[in-house]
């Protein structure tokens, strides 16, 4: 599995985000507009959100364990840096709800791209595992984005396109991170740590509060913890 293949696959992984966004606008957003069974739609959305959160936490665990196994200090300090940096970046994104959703999505894909790049530099199989997991989580992320920006006059196709463009940061930053680590291998644990910290921050700042607002906390907690457990188990075993 060559590095170029992984970046190419990461590029293809924006397609599930488009599919998710299309479904989000078409099914969930439209249901809300028509005043239909909004309860069910919100439930689906909450679980989609929670499963995305679980997948991200599982990956954060796998990535962090890889980072701390190399140089403990870089991995954990990197995590603190990741939390802080993404917090500061997010503070600048205060605009309309729709634009904020797109900016948030772009920040997510940036953090995920760093994770993919750092993991692929460590072991291509590990990188591939991250690409596949993020591709899966792109569907629910896309659906959440789609339903957030769904408003009159904006069709599912244009939202799907916006969701896919917001996600291109993922393969782009994966490639950049890979090249950086190739050039300076000492960055490896830091990159893994930063990615893990940023992922955890995003889950705590965006995905979880959004999920709790939509449905009961017990079901959210079950979906998040079980999804995280599965990914941590599989991700821990690919190395």
Name the site residues for another protein (rule: CB under 8 A). 61, 64-65, 68, 72-73, 76-77, 79-80, 83-84, 87, 90-91, 197, 200-206, 208-209, 212, 217-218, 220-222, 224-226, 228-230, 232-233, 236-237
Taking the complex as a whole, the smallest distance from the CB of residue 5 to another protein amounts, in Å, to: 27
The rounded distance, in Å, linking the Cα atoms of 232 and 53 is 13
Taking the complex as a whole, the smallest distance from the CB of residue 89 to another protein amounts, in Å, to: 11
First to last CA, the chain: 14
Contact present, 57 and 200 (Cβ < 8 Å): yes
Taking the complex as a whole, the smallest distance from the CB of residue 126 to another protein amounts, in Å, to: 15
The rounded distance, in Å, linking the Cα atoms of 179 and 236 is 24
Q: Which is nearer to another protein, 182 or 217 (CB)?
A: 217
Task: Determine how many CB atoms are found less than 10 A away from the CB of residue 185.
Answer: 11
Q: Which is nearer to another protein, 30 or 226 (CB)?
A: 226
Taking the complex as a whole, the smallest distance from the CB of residue 203 to another protein amounts, in Å, to: 8
Q: Which is nearer to another protein, 15 or 212 (CB)?
A: 212
SS3 state at 123 = coil
Please state, in angstroms and as integers, the Cα–Cα distance from residue 80 to each residue in 93, 166, 200, following that order. Answer: 21, 25, 10
Q: Which is nearer to another protein, 26 or 112 (CB)?
A: 112
Q: Quote the DSSP letter at residue 155.
A: -
Q: Which is nearer to another protein, 10 or 60 (CB)?
A: 60
Give the dihedral sign, CA 44/49/50/55.
positive
Give me the phi and psi of 215, to 5 degrees please: -150, 180
With DSSP H G I counted as helix, E B as strand and the rest as coil, what are the percentages for the chain, rounded to 5?
Answer: 90, 0, 10
Q: Which is nearer to another protein, 27 or 108 (CB)?
A: 108
Taking the complex as a whole, the smallest distance from the CB of residue 112 to another protein amounts, in Å, to: 16
The rounded distance, in Å, linking the Cα atoms of 16 and 159 is 13
Taking the complex as a whole, the smallest distance from the CB of residue 171 to another protein amounts, in Å, to: 26
Q: Which is nearer to another protein, 139 or 207 (CB)?
A: 207
Taking the complex as a whole, the smallest distance from the CB of residue 14 to another protein amounts, in Å, to: 25
Please compute, for residue 119, the number of CA atoms within 13 A of its CA located in the half-sphere on the CB side.
Answer: 34
């Amino acid at each position: 599995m060559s590095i170029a293949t992984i970046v190419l696959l990461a590029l293809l992984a924006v397609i599930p985000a488009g599919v998710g966004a299309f479904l989000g606008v078409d099914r969930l957003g439209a249901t809300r507009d028509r005043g239909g069974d909004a309860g069910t739609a919100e439930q689906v959305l909450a679980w989609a959100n929670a499963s995305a959160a679980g997948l991200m936490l599982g990956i954060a665990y796998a990535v962090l364990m890889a980072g701390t196994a190399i140089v403990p200090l870089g991995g954990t300090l990197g995590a603190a840096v990741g939390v802080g940096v993404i917090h500061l970046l997010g503070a600048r994104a205060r605009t309309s709800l729709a634009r904020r959703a797109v900016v948030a999505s772009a920040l997510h894909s940036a953090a995920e791209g760093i994770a993919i790049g750092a993991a692929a530099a460590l072991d291509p199989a590990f990188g591939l595992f991250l690409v596949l997991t993020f591709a899966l989580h792109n569907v629910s992320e896309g659906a959440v984005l789609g339903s957030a920006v769904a408003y009159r006059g904006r069709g599912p196709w244009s939202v799907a396109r916006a969701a896919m463009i917001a996600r291109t940061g993922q393969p782009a930053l994966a490639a950049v991170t890979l090249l950086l680590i190739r050039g300076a291998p000492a960055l490896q644990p830091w990159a893994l740590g930063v990615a893990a910290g940023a992922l955890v921050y995003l889950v705590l700042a965006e995905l979880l509060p959004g999920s709790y607002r939509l449905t009961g906390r017990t079901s959210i907690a079950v979906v998040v913890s079980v999804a995280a457990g599965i990914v941590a188990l599989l991700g821990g075993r690919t190395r």
